Amino acid sequence: MYSKKQASYINKTAEEIIKLKYDCNSQKQEGVLIKKVCDFFDVLKNFELTQPQIQFLYKFANIIGIPQYYDMLLKQKNNNLKFEDIHIHDLTGMIYNASLTMEEEKSFHKYQKIVYDKFKKGTKNRYFLTAPTSFGKTFIVNEIIKKMNYRNIVLIYPTLSLLAENYIKLLDDKFFSKYNIHTLSDEDIDEEENNLFIYTPERFLSMADKKEDFKFDFIFMDEIYKIDNQFLIDNQTIGENERDLSFRVALQLVCMKAKDILLAGPYIEIVDNNSSSIQNFFKDNDFKKICFNEIEIVNKSLLEIREKKEYKFEGLDFKINAKPTRKKLETLLKILYKSGNKSSIIYTYSRSQTENIAKWIIQFKQNQEVYNEIEDVEKQEKFAIFMDHIKNAFSEDWILYKGLQNGIGIHHGYIPKYIQKEIIEFFNQGVLDTIISTTTITEGINTSAKNMIVMSDKKGTKPLKKFDAQNIAGRAGRFMHHFKGFVFSIDNNFSDILNSDSEELKNLEYDPNSKKLEVDIMMASEKYLTEDQKLTKKQLLQEASELGLDMNIVNKFKTIKISDKITLYKEILKLNSFDKKRLLNVLNYGNSLNWENFELLLKCIFPIIENEDLQRLIINKTPKNFSALTVKVSKYITNGFPEVLNFELQRKTPDMAVRETSKLTYNIFKYHLVKYLGLIDILLKYNISKELNCDIDEINSGITMLISLLEYNCVSLDARKISDYGVPFKVIKYLDTSNLDVLNSFDKYEYFVYKQIKNKFKIE
> Which residues fall within 8 angstroms of residue 330, CB to CB, at 6 or more apart?
360, 361, 364
Q: Please, which pLDDT band fits residue 74 given cuts at 50, 70 and 90?
A: confident
CB atoms within 10 A of CB 188: 7
To the nearest whole percent, how much of the chain has pLDDT over 70? 95
Query: What's the chain's length in residues?
Result: 764
How far, in Å, CA of 338 to CA of 640, rounded?
44
Alpha-carbon gap, residue 134 to 296, rounded angstroms: 7
* CB-based contact 257:219 (threshold 8 Å): yes
- Identify whether the C-beta of residue 195 lies closer than 8 Å to the C-beta of residue 152: yes
pLDDT in tens, 711-756: 999 999 989 999 988 899 999 999 999 999 999 999 999 999 999 9
What pLDDT digit, counting tens, does each position of 663-681 carry? 999 999 998 999 999 999 9
Write the pLDDT tens digit of every residue in 336-358: 998 888 899 999 999 999 999 99
Q: Please check whether residue 51 is in contact with residue 64, taking contact to mean a CB–CB distance below 8 angstroms.
A: no
Answer yes or no: are the C-beta atoms of 679 and 558 closer than 8 Å. Answer: no
pLDDT value at 581 more than 50? yes
**At a CB cut-off of 8 Å and minimum separation 6, what does 157 contact?**
163, 166, 198, 199, 200, 222, 223, 444
In three-state secondary structure terms, 489 is strand
Rounded distance between C-alpha atoms, residue 209 and residue 578, angstroms = 29
Per residue in 374-390, is it b (16+ CB within 10 Å) or e — as a string?
beeeeeeebbeebeebb
* pLDDT value of position 88: 45
Q: How many CB atoms lie within 10 A of CB 593?
A: 21
CA angle 532, 535, 537 (to 5 degrees): 110
Q: What is the separation of C-alpha 666 from the centre of its chain, rounded to a whole number of angstroms? A: 15
Distance CA 85, CA 53 (A): 12
Q: What is the pLDDT of residue 625?
A: 94
Report the distance separating Cα 131 and Cα 332, nearest Å: 31
Using one digit for the tens of pLDDT, what is the confidence trace for 363-402?
999 988 877 778 888 999 999 999 999 999 999 999 999 9
